[in-house]
Chain A
Amino acid sequence: MRKNLRAIIAIEFENMAYFPILEGIVCLLVFFCVGTLLGGFMESVFIVPRSVYNGTGIEANILEAIRKDNTQAAAGPLISLPYVLSLIAPLLSTLSLTRPIEDGTLRTYLSFPVSRSTILFVKFLLVNLLLWGISMGGWIIQIVLGIPNFQQYPTLLFWSLVLLLNCMLITSTCFLVSMLSKRTETSLLFGLGMWYLLTMMSTNYNLSIQVRGVFYPVVMIWASIYYGTSYVSANQFILPIIGTIVLIALAYSACHLIFQGMEV
């Protein structure tokens, strides 16, 4: 079984490594980093030589301010990665599930001595790890560069969990859509529609943070970063997290059931 699992992970990983979308993600990251760094460092002011304010040289204050601005500008877009990746999730899910159904490779895999549960689990795991890994990478860079407030939260693991839940929620629903449609175009269209719906809900301030948190867990983190813990207290996270886990479990169970009975 362990050998099976290792081999199927290797096969799936290789398939994913050949997705053109992976190159797209890398390009996107490079674009974000280079673009914001350039933008940040272009900030400039004119300082009268040797001018003094409150006994301190103005030049030193301004340069310090510019340094802070630049680091924030450089890291700022990285926090948007979950948004961007949630847009990519339908593409990855579709390519991981629907494409093998269409091109016949799934039939080949299902003819090997591997259970369908294992195949589905590995696909789900790898898509999530990829999405989560990239968004975590972005966030960690952000923390290193020093975003105010963000460093106040010592439990990075907790934020990682929320980020992972966000990825899993989108992926499991995208998997479900792919499973039901079995067609690349349909599942892509539904996936993108769902991304739009979730994103819209996450920015609908008529809804409470807890409701928005269930469908888009990352909004809790943003709310905490921008408004502080007084706006979203720790115990308020419990409900959205449980809600998200329930949604993920429901969507994944439905996928599992459909996949078990799928005729290829």
Chain B
Amino acid sequence: MVMLATMEVLPNLFGGTGDSISQILSMLFYVVFIVFLFYGQRIQMYVMIREVEGSLYKLKYIKEEGRRITIETIKEIGKPQTDPSARVDRYLEYFTISPQSMDPAGIVYKLDHILDVRDTRLKDEVKIMAPASDEVQVNNLENTLEAAMALNFIYKVIRHYYIQGKKTLSLYIIMQLQMILPLVMKEAEAYASALKAFADGQPIGDGAGPLVAAKLMHGYETRKVPKDCVVATVPLEGRTAFIIKAEGPGGNVGKPGDAVKAVIDENEGKVASVIMIDAGLKLEGETVGEVAEGIGAAIGGPGVDQFKIEETVVKYQIPLNAVIVKEDIGDAVSPMRKEISDSADTVIERVKNVILERTKEGDKVIIVGVGNTIGIGQQEKKRNE
């Protein structure tokens, strides 16, 4: 009754002269205008919060799926006696503290040491979690766990800023979060895809470099070089090529910095060129699998290997060339796309061109396939050093 009375009185207050519908519409217009005048920013913020909340639920789902897939894979491959869930949860919370950089001298070797310790520790954990797994499976499981770890970290950071924004009702925290969300979601989806690839041991887009190296060294004897890498001596266009890649087919990036240094030192610096092949981040609009050439050390990661390679080539004044296969972050960590797999032959042609144009017959060259070699093997026959 009160509502009916109000509806009859209110239009007169707003000076409505037309029929009842136009009166109610003009009244609604004033109400909406006043509400937006005073609460516009707050409404905008609530809309953003809702958007972030939706993405956060999706991130939570992806993270939980990642954890589930990881535990299932460990149970299936590693045949543990006890439930590995608690250990996996502990693993997902592992952190690494980077070295102090106030005095940057020698920081590369400090970081190198910390990364070595981390790698050993994580591998040991995987061996405890999955006792029945072999070396290849340990590497694959370690990669799977690292992808799950990345998903866990992304979820926690986004949740942190979401709660902080809600607590402080700060438009600027929420706005920043909402603006970067599409990129964060893309990365999270890429890791989710990577997780399945790692669990099954499928080659990923980042393996473009090792794939080219594997094709070049196929049919030739390989030997191990430090650390976790293999090298094959291959005659190529009248030159002697030392082809280096991480040892596969387990998920492994090796330490190409140490491997390149070892091969250059073995040859007393008498190397005409170092050619690095890697997956390179493409810009929007560029085609996946496009091949480009350049100069410098084509290698990502924390920078330790890039530093070592640059240090060695500078010492002996060796030219450093690079060939990259373009792909985006999603392609780099998810199962290898056909375009990337097919580009390996184009890369080989480009590498041969570089060798023909930049070196003389009888020279020695080093070709490094940089990246994760998961799902990419090499000649089975090995001669240990």
Asked if A and B are interacting partners, one says: no
> A-side interface residues toward B, CB under 8 Å?
none
